[in-house]
Amino acid sequence: MRKQADWMVPSDDRILELIREYGNLTPSAIEAKGGPVRQHASSRCSELAEYGLLEQVHRGLYGITEEGTAYLDEELDASELDPVEDAN
């Protein structure tokens, strides 16, 4: 079972899963592939990048990190993550 952090919301798993499956995505692409609406995906991607589960590879484009993959594979407890200094 995945171990979410208090700051996470249910849609975070879906966002991470989509980016792992399809590669780098924008919030609009996340919505188009069945994820949350663009505005919500955008704010969640920023938050996920702040904690190191995603990385912003270009303005508005996000990719999954090793930590993000480890979280999805139930190998990382997200509650142990601290904000990354240079997330954006």
pLDDT, one tens digit per residue, over 10-46 is 999 999 999 999 999 999 999 999 999 999 999 999 9
Give mean pLDDT, residues 50-63: 96
Predicted pLDDT of residue 1: 86
- Could you tell me the two tokens for 18? 């989509």
Q: Which long-range contacts (CB under 8 A, 24 or more apart) does 8-11 make?
A: 8/78, 9/44, 11/35, 11/36, 11/40, 11/41, 11/44
pLDDT surpassing 50 at residue 87: no
H-state helical runs in the chain: 11-22, 27-32, 38-50, 66-72
Q: What is the pTM of this model?
A: 0.93
